[in-house]
Chain A
Amino acid sequence: EAQVTQNPRYLITVTGKKLTVTCSQNMNHEYMSWYRQDPGLGLRQIYYSMNVEVTDKGDVPEGYKVSRKEKRNFPLILESPSPNQTSLYFCASSGAGIASEQYFGPGTRLTVT
Protein backbone atom coordinates (compact mmCIF):
# COMPACT_ATOMS: atom_id res chain seq x y z
CA GLU A 1 0.00 0.00 0.00
CA ALA A 2 1.35 3.41 -0.99
CA GLN A 3 1.78 5.45 2.12
CA VAL A 4 3.66 7.99 4.16
CA THR A 5 4.38 6.91 7.72
CA GLN A 6 5.35 9.08 10.66
CA ASN A 7 6.61 8.15 14.09
CA PRO A 8 5.77 8.78 16.78
CA ARG A 9 2.12 9.72 16.35
CA TYR A 10 1.95 11.41 19.72
CA LEU A 11 4.76 12.90 21.76
CA ILE A 12 4.89 14.89 24.97
CA THR A 13 8.28 16.30 25.85
CA VAL A 14 9.93 19.03 27.88
CA THR A 15 11.58 22.22 26.77
CA GLY A 16 15.10 21.71 25.48
CA LYS A 17 15.06 17.95 25.08
CA LYS A 18 16.12 17.07 21.54
CA LEU A 19 13.70 14.99 19.54
CA THR A 20 13.33 13.52 16.08
CA VAL A 21 10.12 12.78 14.20
CA THR A 22 10.67 10.23 11.47
CA CYS A 23 8.97 10.22 8.08
CA SER A 24 9.17 7.49 5.48
CA GLN A 25 7.46 6.97 2.12
CA ASN A 26 7.30 3.86 -0.05
CA MET A 27 6.37 5.50 -3.36
CA ASN A 28 9.89 6.37 -4.57
CA HIS A 29 8.94 10.05 -4.51
CA GLU A 30 11.59 12.70 -5.07
CA TYR A 31 9.78 15.47 -3.21
CA MET A 32 9.19 15.45 0.54
CA SER A 33 8.05 18.16 2.88
CA TRP A 34 7.18 18.95 6.49
CA TYR A 35 4.24 21.09 7.56
CA ARG A 36 2.86 22.21 10.85
CA GLN A 37 -0.85 22.76 11.41
CA ASP A 38 -2.11 25.17 14.05
CA PRO A 39 -5.70 26.27 14.74
CA GLY A 40 -6.61 29.29 12.66
CA LEU A 41 -3.29 29.25 10.79
CA GLY A 42 -3.80 26.36 8.42
CA LEU A 43 -0.84 24.41 7.06
CA ARG A 44 2.54 26.07 7.02
CA GLN A 45 5.59 24.56 5.41
CA ILE A 46 8.67 24.06 7.56
CA TYR A 47 11.21 22.48 5.18
CA TYR A 48 11.12 20.64 1.90
CA SER A 49 13.40 18.45 -0.14
CA MET A 50 13.39 18.13 -3.91
CA ASN A 51 15.65 15.08 -3.80
CA VAL A 52 18.37 13.31 -1.81
CA GLU A 53 20.80 15.76 -0.19
CA VAL A 54 18.71 18.73 -1.43
CA THR A 55 16.73 20.57 1.26
CA ASP A 56 15.40 24.10 1.57
CA LYS A 57 13.53 26.27 4.02
CA GLY A 58 9.80 26.74 3.92
CA ASP A 59 7.81 29.47 5.62
CA VAL A 60 8.55 28.62 9.26
CA PRO A 61 11.96 26.88 9.49
CA GLU A 62 13.21 28.46 12.72
CA GLY A 63 13.93 25.89 15.42
CA TYR A 64 13.84 22.91 13.04
CA LYS A 65 16.38 20.87 11.11
CA VAL A 66 15.96 18.22 8.45
CA SER A 67 18.13 15.83 6.52
CA ARG A 68 17.60 13.76 3.36
CA LYS A 69 20.22 11.05 3.18
CA GLU A 70 17.94 8.49 1.59
CA LYS A 71 15.12 8.98 -0.87
CA ARG A 72 12.50 7.36 1.32
CA ASN A 73 13.27 9.10 4.64
CA PHE A 74 12.98 12.72 5.72
CA PRO A 75 13.32 13.15 9.50
CA LEU A 76 12.40 16.37 11.29
CA ILE A 77 14.72 17.32 14.14
CA LEU A 78 13.96 19.71 16.97
CA GLU A 79 17.29 20.31 18.67
CA SER A 80 15.89 22.38 21.55
CA PRO A 81 12.10 22.25 21.51
CA SER A 82 10.13 25.15 22.95
CA PRO A 83 6.44 25.41 23.89
CA ASN A 84 5.69 27.43 20.72
CA GLN A 85 6.56 24.30 18.73
CA THR A 86 3.57 22.51 20.22
CA SER A 87 1.64 21.63 17.09
CA LEU A 88 0.37 18.95 14.73
CA TYR A 89 3.05 18.00 12.23
CA PHE A 90 2.56 16.43 8.83
CA CYS A 91 5.05 14.92 6.45
CA ALA A 92 4.15 14.78 2.76
CA SER A 93 5.65 13.46 -0.44
CA SER A 94 4.96 13.75 -4.15
CA GLY A 95 6.40 12.32 -7.31
CA ALA A 96 7.03 15.52 -9.25
CA GLY A 97 7.21 18.49 -6.93
CA ILE A 98 4.11 20.02 -5.45
CA ALA A 99 2.44 20.40 -8.80
CA SER A 100 1.28 16.86 -8.49
CA GLU A 101 -0.59 15.13 -5.74
CA GLN A 102 1.02 15.40 -2.35
CA TYR A 103 0.49 12.37 -0.10
CA PHE A 104 0.31 13.31 3.56
CA GLY A 105 1.20 11.17 6.53
CA PRO A 106 -1.18 10.65 9.47
CA GLY A 107 0.35 13.40 11.56
CA THR A 108 2.38 13.69 14.75
CA ARG A 109 0.89 15.60 17.65
CA LEU A 110 3.70 17.19 19.63
CA THR A 111 3.31 18.85 23.01
CA VAL A 112 6.27 20.70 24.51
CA THR A 113 5.86 21.63 28.18
Chain B
Amino acid sequence: QQQVKQSPQSLIVQKGGISIINCAYENTAFDYFPWYQQFPGKGPALLIAIRPDVSEKKEGRFTISFNKSAKQFSLHIMDSQPGDSATYFCAAPEDSGYSTLTFGKGTMLLVSP
Protein backbone atom coordinates (compact mmCIF):
# COMPACT_ATOMS: atom_id res chain seq x y z
CA GLN B 1 0.00 0.00 0.00
CA GLN B 2 1.26 3.42 -0.92
CA GLN B 3 2.18 5.76 1.94
CA VAL B 4 1.29 9.43 1.70
CA LYS B 5 3.16 11.51 4.25
CA GLN B 6 1.63 14.89 4.99
CA SER B 7 3.18 17.71 7.02
CA PRO B 8 2.76 19.63 9.19
CA GLN B 9 0.05 18.10 11.38
CA SER B 10 -1.13 21.56 12.39
CA LEU B 11 -0.42 25.06 11.23
CA ILE B 12 -1.23 28.53 12.55
CA VAL B 13 -0.96 31.41 10.09
CA GLN B 14 -1.83 35.05 10.46
CA LYS B 15 -4.48 36.55 8.24
CA GLY B 16 -2.91 37.57 4.95
CA GLY B 17 -0.03 35.14 5.28
CA ILE B 18 0.88 32.13 3.15
CA SER B 19 -0.07 28.65 4.31
CA ILE B 20 2.03 25.78 2.97
CA ILE B 21 1.21 22.09 3.38
CA ASN B 22 3.43 19.38 1.98
CA CYS B 23 2.85 15.80 0.89
CA ALA B 24 5.25 13.07 -0.16
CA TYR B 25 4.18 9.93 -1.97
CA GLU B 26 5.88 6.70 -2.94
CA ASN B 27 4.39 5.31 -6.11
CA THR B 28 5.31 7.28 -9.20
CA ALA B 29 3.13 5.31 -11.57
CA PHE B 30 0.01 7.37 -11.11
CA ASP B 31 -0.88 10.84 -12.13
CA TYR B 32 -3.71 12.34 -10.15
CA PHE B 33 -3.15 14.16 -6.87
CA PRO B 34 -6.09 15.91 -5.19
CA TRP B 35 -6.41 18.06 -2.11
CA TYR B 36 -9.55 17.90 0.00
CA GLN B 37 -10.75 20.54 2.48
CA GLN B 38 -12.84 19.65 5.52
CA PHE B 39 -14.62 22.10 7.80
CA PRO B 40 -15.64 21.03 11.32
CA GLY B 41 -18.79 18.91 11.26
CA LYS B 42 -18.72 18.48 7.48
CA GLY B 43 -17.52 15.93 5.01
CA PRO B 44 -14.36 16.58 2.97
CA ALA B 45 -14.77 18.44 -0.30
CA LEU B 46 -12.45 18.52 -3.30
CA LEU B 47 -10.46 21.74 -3.26
CA ILE B 48 -8.03 21.37 -6.14
CA ALA B 49 -6.31 18.56 -8.02
CA ILE B 50 -3.28 18.24 -10.28
CA ARG B 51 -2.15 15.85 -12.94
CA PRO B 52 1.64 15.92 -13.22
CA ASP B 53 1.79 16.83 -16.86
CA VAL B 54 2.03 20.28 -15.32
CA SER B 55 4.22 21.39 -12.40
CA GLU B 56 1.76 23.87 -10.98
CA LYS B 57 -1.97 24.50 -10.91
CA LYS B 58 -3.59 27.62 -9.55
CA GLU B 59 -7.22 28.26 -8.66
CA GLY B 60 -7.78 31.60 -7.02
CA ARG B 61 -5.69 31.79 -3.86
CA PHE B 62 -4.93 28.06 -3.92
CA THR B 63 -1.94 26.62 -5.78
CA ILE B 64 -0.63 23.08 -6.07
CA SER B 65 3.06 22.75 -6.80
CA PHE B 66 4.24 19.37 -8.03
CA ASN B 67 7.81 18.02 -7.99
CA LYS B 68 7.81 14.66 -9.73
CA SER B 69 11.51 13.91 -9.21
CA ALA B 70 11.19 14.49 -5.46
CA LYS B 71 7.80 12.72 -5.34
CA GLN B 72 6.31 15.66 -3.51
CA PHE B 73 3.42 18.03 -3.97
CA SER B 74 2.42 21.04 -1.94
CA LEU B 75 -0.63 23.19 -1.34
CA HIS B 76 -0.06 26.93 -1.04
CA ILE B 77 -2.81 29.21 0.23
CA MET B 78 -2.01 32.81 -0.56
CA ASP B 79 -3.49 35.68 1.45
CA SER B 80 -4.86 33.19 3.99
CA GLN B 81 -8.21 34.13 5.51
CA PRO B 82 -9.96 33.01 8.73
CA GLY B 83 -12.51 31.26 6.51
CA ASP B 84 -9.71 28.99 5.27
CA SER B 85 -9.42 27.48 8.76
CA ALA B 86 -10.08 23.80 8.14
CA THR B 87 -8.39 20.43 7.88
CA TYR B 88 -6.66 19.72 4.59
CA PHE B 89 -5.96 16.27 3.18
CA CYS B 90 -3.74 15.36 0.28
CA ALA B 91 -4.24 12.06 -1.52
CA ALA B 92 -2.75 9.83 -4.15
CA PRO B 93 -4.14 6.93 -6.19
CA GLU B 94 -3.42 3.47 -4.92
CA ASP B 95 -3.65 1.69 -8.27
CA SER B 96 -3.66 2.30 -11.99
CA GLY B 97 -7.40 1.74 -12.16
CA TYR B 98 -7.93 4.71 -9.86
CA SER B 99 -10.22 2.61 -7.71
CA THR B 100 -8.83 3.84 -4.40
CA LEU B 101 -7.18 6.87 -2.90
CA THR B 102 -4.68 6.87 -0.06
CA PHE B 103 -5.09 9.99 2.04
CA GLY B 104 -2.52 11.80 4.12
CA LYS B 105 -3.26 12.13 7.82
CA GLY B 106 -4.40 15.71 7.44
CA THR B 107 -3.25 19.20 8.42
CA MET B 108 -5.35 21.34 10.72
CA LEU B 109 -4.98 24.96 9.59
CA LEU B 110 -5.95 27.87 11.81
CA VAL B 111 -5.81 31.35 10.32
CA SER B 112 -5.79 33.93 13.08
CA PRO B 113 -7.60 37.25 12.49
Contacts and interface: CB of A to CB of B under 8 A. Distances in A.
Interface of A: 4, 33, 40-45, 48, 50, 56, 58-59, 90, 92, 97-99, 101-107
Nearest to A106: B43
Contacts of A4: 43
| Closest 4 pairs (CB-CB, A-B) | A104-B43, A99-B98, A42-B105, A43-B103
A92 B102 CA distance: 14
B100 A45 contact: yes
A97 B99 contact: yes
A42 B104 contact: yes
Tell me if B's interface is mostly helix, strand, loop or mixed.
Answer: loop
A104 B46 CA distance: 9
A42 B89 contact: yes
B48 to A, nearest CB: 11
Tell me if A's interface is mostly helix, strand, loop or mixed.
Answer: strand
Contacts of B105: 40-42
A92 B45 CA distance: 10
B106 A42 contact: yes
A107 B104 CA distance: 19
Given A43-B106, A90-B44, 10 more contacts: A33-B100, A40-B105, A41-B105, A42-B89, A43-B44, A97-B98, A99-B98, A102-B36, A102-B46, A107-B42
